[in-house]
Amino acid sequence: MYGEIHGEKHMPNNLNNFIGHLAKTKVARQNRFRVEIYGPFGLTERSGPSLDLMCESITFPGTNVRSVPDTLRYGPAREHGQGMTYGPFTATFICSDDLREKAWFEEWQQMIVNHRTWEVNYYDDYKGEVKIFQLDVDNNDTYNITVTEAYPKTISPQDLSWSSNDSYQTVAVEFTYRYWIPSQLGRRYEAISELRALGPVGP
């Protein structure tokens, strides 16, 4: 039944389209990225190239449409969009021998809550900004996002062990923020149109 409906030529043709599309389209690489971290005024406003270069891994944060059920009708319920929510993201940094990367984020957290008086600072005085860039194989920026009103919510524990076999130390930092703004939206929509023009790829 499957072969009768779809035909024997359908799958090879779509496979050829897919292979041809990949041959002329470069794919994004997970290991091609860079970051820029801007702390609040009063901290070293810009983390500097050293911290940015020490970022071993980072996550592009996602998005979620907050919805509410519509139960005023018979039959299956609908989910109506109500707003947007943005979850936290984590960046991991390789640490210098004096742990200056960790100390920088600790100083930032100190600007949020004073660790001696336990007083909380004003929001505008501790929010910062993070920019995440996707690079191509030639290290050119192809896409980036700006994470607004960001700050380090959690500095994760660091393991120490005699059995670590001389592994380098890292520190993972979880950021919370208000929202993020993507760039290159126009090109993304063009790319989506190009993909749709190819038609269905699978059987």
Quick check: is 89 in a domain? yes
Q: Above 50 in pLDDT, residue 80?
A: yes
Can you tell me the mean pLDDT for 99-125?
Answer: 95
Quick check: is 175 in a domain? yes
In which band, very low, low, confident or very high, does the pLDDT at 183 lie, cut at 50, 70 and 90?
Answer: confident
Can you tell me the mean pLDDT for 191-200?
Answer: 55
Which tops the pLDDT comparison, 195 or 98? 98
Query: pLDDT value at position 74?
Result: 79
Query: pLDDT value at position 83?
Result: 94
Per the structure, the complete domain to which residue 143 belongs is given by 27-70+77-197
Mean pLDDT of the residues in the chain: 85
Query: pLDDT value at position 45?
Result: 53
Q: Above 90 in pLDDT, residue 50?
A: no
What domain count does the chain have? 1
Quick check: is 16 in a domain? no
Q: State percent of the chain over pLDDT 90.
A: 63
Cβ pair 87, 176 in contact under 8 A: no
Can you give the CATH number for the domain in which 127 is found?
2.30.110.20
Across 13-22, 121-130, 176-185, the highest mean pLDDT is recorded for: 121-130
Quick check: is 5 in a domain? no
Can you tell me the mean pLDDT for 139-168?
Answer: 95
Quick check: is 50 in a domain? yes
Quick check: is 9 in a domain? no
- Residue 95, C-beta contacts closer than 8 angstroms, at least 6 positions apart: 54, 101, 102, 158, 168, 169, 170, 171
